């Protein structure tokens, strides 16, 4: 097991107290890495480093900052294999997926560099010889708290747009897979054109390091992805200094399968999304409302897909593995609890349903399909965040839209029908931030669907997400008599 240090002010440093914490290999359950357990003092040092670097970084031209972001992207590509193997070992991502994620992280920096040029000022027409316009300026020091479910790509999603427009950052990676975050710091440390202190990566617990970052008076904005419950705690910590917050929180996303849906096409998207990353996707399907006329066919094909997956130890070197373990023993127990709870409420396990002990000693749960579920069951009301498909049969007499909207979350919804007119008419009736009809596509250009109900605040991704990291300053100039 290797011990790591944190990246603060361009230096590798231990925690001030010398405390450490241990991460696990989820495929084996064995210890993986030792990482520093930061305190409020370490967070303060990182924030001070970011504050000192801010005038330098924000004072560079866009072309100068872009050059650095391109160099970061190139370095990520050079290190992609090693980064991918770290994600396999500490998160349980299959190698092919992990490598693709790393290449996607590189693309985030390139896209953000190019997109930053589009954040132009806006002139406001006023009478008389007066010029009034809005000038975009970086917010300042950004505190990022990233999620454990997509550790590499979410580090890039957070850092790239914030850096592109001139902010400096302190990032706390998830405690469960902190070494992945420190691997990202290692990549950044090899980019000499990145000024010291522009990015600082500090490991520690959410209750201590995360809380210190969210409440620090010199942090201007908090960017967070995680559960709605933790998001509410961060909002409370940020409130005394009225920090701006950008948050992508929980989701329990409805899927509407109509009688005329192309079942095979839907499963290529939905079943893949359900089990990719072991179901640990905020944008993944949460509850499937399937019309009674196609319910049995949909369930049978979903079962066949689940049973066709190759599940296993993502550190074994077998690149044909399609699904790995869950991220932790605690999360495994939570997911299995949802499955047993569903059975107790009357659901049927069509396939899977238990720990995958045949895959190894890690935190495995078999790809699972639950049938006979109803809208009021706990498995349909809460976010399972695992490889568990919850299938609900509906009839023509059911109010489908009401059921779809009956959730405290509002991240996204999926519609599958050959009648595009029907699908388009449903868009305005679904109270969510994003609607996918006969597809699911997330690109660098698209803003992600937060800011509805308890699923978040603000936007992430695309030019709209980048705008979250600038303040608009009003300028008014009188140039006539």
By residue count, the chain amounts to 481
Contact (Cβ atoms closer than 8 angstroms) between residue 62 and residue 116: yes
3-class secondary-structure state, position 119: coil
Contact (Cβ atoms closer than 8 angstroms) between residue 199 and residue 7: yes
Number of neighbouring beta carbons within 10 Å of residue 173: 30
- Distance, in Å, from the CA atom of 92 to the CA atom of 277, rounded to the nearest integer, reads 8
- Distance, in Å, from the CA atom of 167 to the CA atom of 165, rounded to the nearest integer, reads 6
Contact (Cβ atoms closer than 8 angstroms) between residue 6 and residue 14: yes
Contact (Cβ atoms closer than 8 angstroms) between residue 282 and residue 149: yes
Closest among 389, 393, 343 to 365, alpha carbons compared: 389
Strand segments, DSSP code E, in 164-225 are 168-172, 199-201, 221-225
Place of tokens 């190019």: 114
Closest among 354, 381, 388, 393 to 271, alpha carbons compared: 388
Place of tokens 């560079």: 60
- Kindly state the tokens that stand for 25: 């290999």
Question: How far is the CA of 80 from the CAs of 84, 86, 103, 278, in angstroms?
Answer: 6, 10, 7, 22
Catalytic residues: 248, 282
b/e per residue 333-368 (b: at least 16 CB within 10 A): eebbebbeebeeeebebbbbbebbeebbebbbbbbb
Residue 247, beta-bridge partner list? 224, 457
């Amino acid at each position: 097991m290797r011990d790591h240090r944190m990246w603060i002010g361009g230096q590798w440093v231990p925690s001030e107290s010398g405390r450490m914490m241990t991460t696990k290999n989820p495929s084996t359950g064995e210890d993986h890495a030792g990482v520093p357990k930061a305190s409020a003092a370490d967070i303060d040092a990182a924030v001070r480093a970011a504050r000192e670097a801010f005038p330098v970084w924000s004072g560079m031209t866009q072309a100068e900052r872009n050059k650095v972001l391109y160099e970061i992207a190139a370095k990520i590509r050079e290190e992609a294999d090693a980064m991918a193997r770290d994600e396999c070992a500490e998160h349980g991502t299959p190698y092919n997926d992990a490598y693709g994620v790393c290449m996607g992280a590189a693309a985030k920096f390139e896209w953000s560099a190019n997109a930053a040029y589009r954040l132009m000022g806006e002139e406001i027409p006023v009478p008389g010889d007066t010029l009034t316009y809005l000038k975009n300026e970086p917010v300042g020091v950004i505190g990022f708290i990233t999620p454990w479910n997509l550790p590499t790509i979410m580090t890039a999603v957070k850092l790239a747009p914030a850096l592109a427009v001139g902010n400096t950052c302190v990032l706390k990676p998830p405690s469960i897979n902190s070494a992945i975050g420190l691997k990202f710091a290692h990549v950044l440390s090899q980019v000499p054109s990145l000024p010291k202190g522009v990015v600082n990566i500090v490991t520690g617990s959410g209750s201590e390091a995360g809380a210190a970052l969210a409440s620090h008076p010199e942090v201007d904005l908090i960017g967070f992805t995680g559960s709605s419950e933790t998001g509410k705690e961060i909002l409370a910590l940020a409130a005394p200094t009225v920090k701006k917050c950008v948050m992508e929180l929980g989701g329990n996303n409805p899927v509407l399968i109509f009688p005329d849906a192309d079942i095979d096409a839907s499963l290529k998207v939905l079943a893949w999304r359900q089990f990719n990353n072991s179901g640990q996707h905020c944008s993944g399907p949460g509850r499937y409302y399937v019309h009674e006329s196609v319910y049995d066919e949909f369930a049978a094909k979903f079962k066949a897909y689940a049973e066709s997956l190759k599940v296993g130890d993502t550190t074994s070197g077998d690149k044909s593995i399609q699904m790995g373990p869950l991220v932790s023993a605690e999360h495994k127990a939570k997911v299995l609890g949802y499955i047993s709870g569903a059975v107790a409420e009357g659901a049927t396990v069509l396939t899977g349903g238990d720990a995958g002990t045949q895959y190894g000693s890690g935190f495995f749960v078999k790809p699972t399909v639950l049938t006979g579920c109803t809208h009021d069951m706990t498995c349909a009301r809460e976010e399972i965040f695992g490889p568990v498909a919850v299938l609900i049969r509906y009839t023509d007499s059911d109010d489908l839209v009401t059921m779809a909207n009956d959730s405290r979350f509002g991240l996204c919804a999926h519609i599958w029908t050959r009648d595009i007119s029907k699908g388009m008419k449903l868009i305005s009736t679904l109270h969510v931030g994003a609607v996918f009809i006969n597809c699911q596509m997330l690109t660098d250009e698209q803003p992600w669907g937060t800011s509805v109900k308890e699923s978040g605040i603000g936007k992430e991704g695309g030019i709209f997400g980048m705008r979250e990291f600038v303040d608009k300053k009003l300028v008014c100039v009188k140039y006539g008599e």
